[in-house]
A and B are shown apart, each in its own frame.
Chain A
């Protein structure tokens, strides 16, 4: 690792420690439904068309914002509406207009299947500030992963809609064994469409993807994703980044704009569909800190979340004597199982490809 990166890592470390001490709430995920209109092979939520848990009533989430407003400047807390597929909710614009009216910027995570021009216009009127759109391959692979024959066409049309507006958006791709060799074609497709921002992540073994051999990249492919991102960033035709998960050793500073820092429970909180107060919506092990039906959200935010804001407890197993500990500190919280074990070490996976 060169000197520039070493200094950068250390400065970022000091910055992140300061942020951890303050733990200002900056992003609040709302898992507004577990219902979904597609059936993705990699779904971390294991969502269904008809969810076992009902949609959270709007007034219940707005009560959370009542709590947040008392302690935070709403302009500094970004609400990210996720699911399931948020667009299956008929009252989405109504709820989000109220979120917006209260001064919270908000954004949407969607597969785009139900994002018609009319729906997009109504969401914009409701104050939608950003959007993240899933695109997991070209037609065949995207439809395979999403379990829906019209999914790619809809995502492609959604991209046209987004490119022709001035909304801030990115496309998000889950790299897997099927689309790995297609990444350059996906890149070219997005550039041709006029997309500026692209986010790639790799599958982690939770939810439906856990036992799916077609989802998990080989060690060589895993490294290949980072080489691809690095190269694409050098070319500069599209701004591509690796997702926020995982400390990447020598690839830190090359495949993202910033250095790794799991902000779950530090700047990121979540309200899950069943009311659970969580950190990051990607965390599927039980690190919930309360429930909005029993607890005040900000009371929980201010006084709990110790597993997310302390690190020494994670220093066990392979992390115990790891030379990357100072900057990794146990990897992302979504990679901890119920017993506290790390289920995926990105650095070790990268090292496997060298053997």
Chain B
């Protein structure tokens, strides 16, 4: 329920052309508060391997 609420508000902001969450000194901008850094480690492993 909470997740849906976050997503709904984040979607409204996105529709208005705004981001939802401040990245606070970190250059990676999360898409919404419930999906901040999901699974970057595994993806990271692949990206490093290809560099």
Contact A15 B22 (CB under 8 A): no
Given A12-B18, A75-B40, A105-B40; A257-B27 close (CB under 8 Å): no
- Rounded to whole Å, the gap between the CB of A32 and the closest CB of chain B is 15
CA distance A105 to B21 in the complex (A): 18
What is the total number of residues of chain B having a CB less than 8 Å from a CB of chain A?
33
Contact A127 B41 (CB under 8 A): yes
- Rounded to whole Å, the gap between the CB of A136 and the closest CB of chain B is 16
Pick from B12, B22, B41: contact of A11, CB below 8 A.
B12
Contact B51 A165 (CB under 8 A): yes
Is A353 at the interface (CB under 8 A from chain B)? no
CA distance A197 to B40 in the complex (A): 20
Pick from A15, A76, A132: contact of B13, CB below 8 A.
A15
Chain B 1-45 against A: per-residue CB contact (8 Å), 1 yes, 0 no?
010011001101100111111111111111001001111110010
Q: Which residues 1-31 of A have a CB within 8 angstroms of B?
A: 4, 7-8, 11-12, 14-15, 18-19, 22, 24, 26-27, 29
Given A15-B33, A124-B51; A103-B41 close (CB under 8 Å): yes
Given A75-B40, A76-B37; A15-B18 close (CB under 8 Å): no
Contact B25 A29 (CB under 8 A): yes
Q: Which of A90-98, A259-267, A283-291 lines the interface with chain B?
A: A259-267
Within 8 Å CB of B25, what residues of A?
A: 27, 29, 80, 82, 109, 132, 243-244, 281
Contact A4 B33 (CB under 8 A): no
CA distance A19 to B37 in the complex (A): 16
Q: Which residues 299-331 of A have a CB within 8 angstroms of B?
A: none
Within 8 Å CB of B28, what residues of A?
A: 78, 107, 129-130, 168
Contact A14 B9 (CB under 8 A): yes
Is A251 at the interface (CB under 8 A from chain B)? no
Within 8 Å CB of A22, what residues of B?
A: 2
- Rounded to whole Å, the gap between the CB of A289 and the closest CB of chain B is 18
Given A15-B20, A253-B18, A259-B18; A130-B13 close (CB under 8 Å): no
CA distance A257 to B13 in the complex (A): 10
Within 8 Å CB of A165, what residues of B?
A: 51
CA distance A130 to B51 in the complex (A): 15
Within 8 Å CB of A27, what residues of B?
A: 24-26
- Rounded to whole Å, the gap between the CB of B42 and the closest CB of chain A is 9
Is A190 at the interface (CB under 8 A from chain B)? no
- Rounded to whole Å, the gap between the CB of B44 and the closest CB of chain A is 6
Known: A18-B5, A258-B22. 19 other contacts (CB 8 A): A4-B16, A4-B17, A11-B16, A27-B24, A29-B25, A75-B37, A75-B38, A75-B39, A75-B41, A80-B26, A107-B28, A124-B51, A127-B41, A132-B26, A257-B29, A259-B18, A261-B22, A267-B24, A267-B33
The contact sample of 20 A-B pairs, CB cut-off 8 A, is A18-B5, A26-B33, A26-B36, A27-B25, A27-B26, A29-B25, A75-B40, A80-B25, A80-B26, A82-B25, A105-B44, A109-B25, A125-B48, A129-B40, A132-B25, A199-B27, A257-B19, A260-B22, A261-B22, A280-B24
| Chain B residues within CB distance 8 Å of chain A | 2, 5-6, 9-10, 12-13, 16-30, 33, 36-41, 44, 47-48, 51
| Chain A residues within CB distance 8 Å of chain B | 4, 7-8, 11-12, 14-15, 18-19, 22, 24, 26-27, 29, 75-78, 80, 82, 100, 103, 105, 107, 109, 124-125, 127, 129-132, 165-166, 168-170, 197, 199, 243-244, 253, 256-261, 263, 267-268, 280-281
